[in-house]
Homo-oligomer: A and B are copies of this chain.
Amino acid sequence: MATIYEVSALAGVSLSSVSRVLNDHEHVSEKTKQKVMAAMNELGYRPNSVARSLASNRSNSIGVLVSELHGPFYGEMLSSIEMELRKAGKHAVVTAGHSVEQSEKDGINFLIDRNCDAIIILIDSLSDEFLIELSKGSTPVVILNRLIPEIKDKCFYIDNELGGYLATKYIIEQGHKDLAYISGPLFKQDANERLNGHKRALNEANLKFDEELFYQGDFLTTSGRVGIDHLLKTNKPFTAAVCANDEMASGAMKGLRDHKMLIPQDCSVIGFDNVYFANYLHPELTTMNYPINEMAKMSAQWILKNVYKHTEVFVNNKFTPELIVRESITKNKT
C-alpha cells in the first residue's frame, strides 16, 4: 500500500503539501494539487485512516449504543444514522447494552476507548445522573428518546405525554367510554408520560381512570397478551384497549382472540410507535407515529454540526407524535 511518502516523492513535493491536498486545505496552488492528484492516482494511493486519526486526534467514527440491535425500532434508527453519517464520510460503530446497567456502562466505555468522536445513546437502564456526568466528559454525547432537562439540547425526544393524550382522545371521540390501559414499565420515562397523557384525555372527557382496568406490562408482546387476560378477569367491561406500544398491542390482539373476541367489533385496540409491522397485523393497527427516522437523522446532524463543525443545520430536539388511523378501532355504538 502506497503511503503519503511515496506520493510526495513521485509528485516531487513535500509531505506537508500532499497532506494539504488530502485535507483540502487552502493555500495550495492548483499546480501542486494537480501533481499530487496525479501521483495519487498513479500509485492507487489510499489514505490510512488510522494514521490520520492518530495524528489528528479524530477517529471519524461515531459510537451508537442501543439496548438491542434487533427489534423493529433500533433497525430503523441505525439505518437513518448510518445513512446520514456516511454521507459525511463518518462511520457508525455499534454496540448493545441489553438493558443491563453494567453492560450499558461497559458499552459506553467500549465506545470511548475506541476513540469515538461522539456517542449516540438510546437506552433505559442508565440514570439521568450518570448521563449528565457522562456528558461532561470529553466525548460528546447525544441522547435519543429521553429528555434530561439539564442537558436538553443534547436530547432528542418526542412528546410522549401528548402522544398518550392524542391516542386516548381519539378513542374517546369514537365513542368509547370504558378504556383499559396496558402500560410499559413505569420506571421508564416514556411509559410514564404516555400514561399521563392518557389520564389527561380521560380527565378532559370527564371519564375516570380505573385502576382495575390498568395493567403494567414491559413493552414486550407477551405482556400484552397477559395484560388482556388479567383485565378480562376483572369482569369489568371495556370496549377498547389502549396499549403503550405496538408490540404489546400485538400481544393484546392475540389475547383478545384467545377469548374469542373480535377486533375491533368487540374491542378496539390502539398501539404506539408505528413500527413497521403494525400494518402487517390483522386488522392493521391504529397507532401513534414515532418519528424515529427523523430523530435519528437529527441526532446525527447534531453531531456533524457540533463535533465536526459542518455548515449550519437546523436542529430540532422535540418531536411530535401523530395519529395513524388504520383498522383496529371502530366507533362504539353502545
Contacts and interface: CB of A to CB of B under 8 A. Distances in A.
Interface string A59-84: 10100000011111011101100110
Nearest to A106: B86
B86 A75 contact: no
A47 to B, nearest CB: 7
Interface residues on A, range: 35 or more
B95 A82 contact: yes
B93 A79 contact: no
Interface in A26-81: 46-51, 53-54, 59, 61, 68-72, 74-76, 78-79
B47 A50 contact: no
Secondary structure call for the A interface? helix
A281 interface: yes
Nearest to A69: B79
Interface string A106-129: 000010111100000000000000
B95 A280 contact: no
A5 interface: no
Contacts of A277: 72, 277, 280
Interface stretch (A153-161, A174-182, A226-234, A249-257): A249-257
A244 interface: no
A254 B282 contact: yes
Nearest to A284: B254
B48 A115 contact: yes
A221 B113 CA distance: 41
Contact of A93 (B46, B92, B281): B92
Contacts of A276: 70-71
Contacts of A318: none
A61 B115 contact: no
Interface string A246-275: 000010011001000000000000000000
Given A78-B70, A96-B79, A280 B49 contact: no
A91 interface: yes
Interface of A: 46-51, 53-54, 59, 61, 68-72, 74-76, 78-79, 82-83, 86, 91-96, 110, 112-115, 221, 250, 253-254, 257, 276-277, 280-282
